[in-house]
Structure 1
Amino acid sequence: MASWGDLAAYVNDTYDVISVQEDEIRILFNFEQFDEDDERTQVIILVREVLDNMHEWVQIASPIGLAANVDLRALLEEVGNSTIACGAAIMGEHVVLRHSLPLVDLDIHEFTDPLALLAGSADRLEETFFGGDAY
């Protein structure tokens, strides 16, 4: 991977893309590809970020619920105890899990592995703290 365009082409060929904007791609991560009996999905938002006007990064984020509807301390403790490839943040009204990667010299597994880990963590935390699969 060398650029946002390269990553966008890979994502379009590999995942279920639900919307595309100039610097943002939304995908529906389908867990069924790993477990035929699992029909859960997770919305993942990929955003191109530029650091210092010259370094391209991709931010992988997934909303898990409304910040107003959760015990943030309990959620953050769980994130701290059980996740490896993401952190939690509030963006707008939503709690999101997110992870960022530099695009220069990015190996595809450096993207796909954290993406899958983040999607799984987001799905589990969404179920545990928000009681469903809304995102």
Structure 2
Amino acid sequence: MASWDDLVRFVYEEYTVVAATEGEVRVLVEFEDERSQLVVLSREVLDRRHEWVQIASPCGLVANVDLVGLLEEIGSATVAGGAAIMGDHVVVRHSLPLENLDLNEFVDPMSLVAGTADQLEEQFAGGDAF
């Protein structure tokens, strides 16, 4: 992949896109246990010249999540991604440069972010709202 547009074309071919705007694509990832997870892909530009994709997936509302417990869990059990607060939500997110990005360098981290967010949502929010 070399650009945001290339990534978007790939995502439309391989995933269930539930919404899209300029610079953002929302994907629904469905798991075998009938749970699902929303993943937001956003185009980011570093230093006004380097395209990146940010992969973010909500795992709960800030007001309802034990942030210390969640951060400890991420610190001990997460390979890809870290936690952030975006608006009212706690998200698991990871970013990748698009230049020379190979498919497995996108697919695997996106799967890990979605799976981690879903697991954290179940563990810390007790449901499947996202």
Match of 1:24 in 2: 24
Distance, in Å, in 1 between the alignment partners of 2:5 and 2:65 is 37
- For residues 45 and 54 of structure 1, the distance between their equivalents in structure 2, rounded to whole angstroms, comes to 22
| Paired position in structure 1 for 2:40 | 45
Q: 1:122 aligns with which of 90, 93, 117?
A: 117
1:12 alignment counterpart: 12
Amino acid of the structure 1 residue aligned with 2:90: V
Q: Unaligned regions of 5+ residues in structure 2, if any?
A: none
Letter in 2 for 1:28: L
Which contiguous aligned blocks of 4+ residues in structure 1 show a shift greater than 2 angstroms? none
Q: Deviations over 1:99-120 (max 9, x none)?
A: 0000000000000000111111
DSSP-derived class of the 1:118 partner: helix
Q: What's the secondary structure of 1:99's corresponding residue?
A: strand
Provide the TM-score with structure 1 as the length reference: 0.95
1:101 paired to 2:96: yes
Cα RMSD of the aligned pairs, angstroms, is 0.6
The 2-side partners of 1:113 and 1:70 are apart by: 26
- Structure 1: 5+ residue stretches without partners: 33-37
Q: AA paired with 1:98?
A: R
Give the whole-Å Cα distance in 2 for the aligned partners of 1:124 and 1:71.
Answer: 14
How many residues are treated as equivalent by the alignment? 130
**Distance in 2 between residues matched to 1:25 and 1:68, nearest whole Å:** 26
Report percent identity of matched pairs: 63
CA offset digits 1:82-135 (Å, max 9, x no partner): 101000000111000000000000000000000111111111000000000000
How far is the alpha carbon of 1:29 from its aligned partner? 0.6
SS of the residue 1:120 aligns to: helix
Mapped partners of 1:68, 1:103: distance in 2: 34
Secondary structure, counterpart of 1:42 in structure 2: strand
